[in-house]
Amino acid sequence: MSTPTQLSHVPLFARLDEAGRQALLALMTRQSVKANEPIFWFGDRGDTLFIVDQGRVEVTAPDARGGHVRLDTLGPGGVFGELGLIDGGPRSATVRALTDCSLLALPREPLHAFLRQRPDVAIDMLQVLGARLRASTATIRGLPNPNQVIAEATTRWQRVSDVVATVAASQAFTLTHIAWFGTWILLNTVARAGLLPAALAFDPYPFGLLTLIVSLEAIFLSIFVLVSQNRQSERDRIRTDLDYQVNVKAHVEIVGIAERLARIEQAVTATRPAATDDGVPN
């Protein structure tokens, strides 16, 4: 059986006095969850906060490949689902019981009624939630840029391939080869015709040496270009994954906004005076 003293170890309610924790505990209900059972799924409606009284739970989020990324593991005293207390929007993660768990559930509406009686508690809770938000923001800002991660993971061979592929695609490379091939062919042709010393005709028609050099160059260039293209494909895949995750997040936020607008519309409709047949409100 949980006691008000146990709530003092929960950061969200640590500033409550004994009477406040006793009143808050009376609003909570106990739920038992078997091991490996989900408590809620990503995208479910969020209107309840949970406190782990016994057992351990795992917090995960879906990734771009349909798997799950572990975000946190919570034991006794751990709190999850607190964002649902603010806006009642969809869940931003999936929580599953790792062991048999005993949870304390605090619905949103009873908590709001409690906070209307104790505004000081609301201020304390906002301070704790604000600190959590700042910590999350700082963590996100500290994440490395994907382009920087890709650059740091690049080997010397890959960097050389990128440079060679970039040079091979440049205008200067093309013009240089046009000048080289033209000079080679013209020199050997003129020397072969006797207009220049015969020693200059080192590669007469059909220019076998030039063909060999160009073939070897094409082989090595194709290898460098393929390596560079593979790296570009990997960069594009990472950017696509990031775009997908951003789109999923935006979708969840839009769904939440639509639900809140629907609730506001229902509330306005319920409080609006009914109009008579002549358009005059009753």
* Amino acid in the structure at residue 281: P
With a threshold of 0.85, does the pTM exceed it?
no
Last residue of some domain: 80, 106, 141? 141
* Pairing mode, strands 101-107 and 68-74: unpaired
CA pair distance 68, 58, nearest whole angstrom: 11
**280, part of any domain:** no
Q: What is the pLDDT of residue 42?
A: 81
Helices (H), the chain: 4-7, 18-26, 84-87, 108-117, 119-141, 146-152, 156-168, 171-192, 208-271
Domain count across the chain = 2
C-alpha 77 chain-centroid distance:
28
Neighbours of 251 (CB within 10 A): 12
Give pLDDT, residue 135: 65
Asked whether residue 80 is domain-assigned, the answer is: yes
Give 10-residue mean pLDDT values along the chain (282 residues): 61 75 85 89 82 88 65 83 71 86 87 80 72 64 56 73 85 90 88 81 84 89 86 75 69 70 73 57 54
Q: Which residues are 29's β-sheet partners?
A: 105
For position 146, what pLDDT does the model report?
A: 55
CB burial string 108-123: b at 16+ within 10 A, e below: beebeebbeebeebee
Domain that holds residue 22: 4-141
pLDDT for position 179? 92
CB of 97 within 8 A of CB of 118? Answer: no
CATH number of residue 83's parent domain: 2.60.120.10
172: left (phi over 0), alpha (psi -120 to 50) or beta: alpha
Q: Is residue 276 part of a domain?
A: no
Same structural domain, 65 and 131? yes
What is the torsional sign of CA 47, 53, 55, 56? positive
Please give the Cα distance from 132 to 251 (Å, whole number): 23
pLDDT of residue 100: 92
- Final residue of a structural domain among 113, 141, 169: 141
Return the pLDDT at 67: 61
| Co-location of 96 and 212 in the same domain | no
Q: Give the closest residue to 258 by CA, choosing from 45, 80, 81.
A: 45
207 and 239 inside one domain: yes
Rounded CA separation 37/99 (Å)? 9
Torsion angle of alpha carbons 66, 67, 70, 73, nearest 10°? 100
Strand, helix or coil for residue 254 = helix
